Amino acid sequence: LFTHIYQLKLIPPTGKIYRIEAQCPTGSNEVIKLYINKELDNLTYFFNRNLDFYQYYRSHSTIYDEHYFLRGNTDIRLYTDSAQLDKDPNFSTGYDYKVAKILANEMLRIYLNKKLQKLENESYIEKQYQSISTKIPIRFTGKKAALIELGYALVSSGDINHGNIEIKEFMNYLSAMFNIDLGGYYDAYIAMKERKDRTSYLNKLIENLTKRMDEDDIR
The contacts of residue 85 (CB under 8 Å, 6+ apart) are: 79, 94
Directed axis angle between helix 144-157 and helix 200-218, to 10°?
A: 90
- Looking at residue 88, its pLDDT comes to 55
> DSSP code of 26?
P
Whole-structure pTM value: 0.48
Residue 76 reports pLDDT greater than 50: no
pLDDT in tens, 112-130: 999 998 888 777 767 766 7
pLDDT in tens, 143-162: 999 999 999 999 999 999 99
The tens digit of pLDDT for each residue in 31-69 reads 999 999 999 999 998 888 888 888 887 888 777 677 666
* Separation between Cα atoms, residue 46 and residue 105, nearest integer Å: 9
Q: What percent of the chain has pLDDT over 70?
A: 76
Under the banding of pLDDT at 50, 70 and 90, the label for residue 179 is: confident
Q: Check whether 9 has a pLDDT greater than 60.
A: no
**Cα torsion through 28, 30, 32, 37, rounded to 10:** 180
Continuous H helices in 158-199:
167-178, 185-194
What does the alpha-carbon distance between residue 198 and residue 194 come to, in Å, rounded to a whole number?
7
The rounded distance, in Å, linking the Cα atoms of 74 and 61 is 17
Contacts 24+ apart (CB under 8 A), 203-208: 205/150
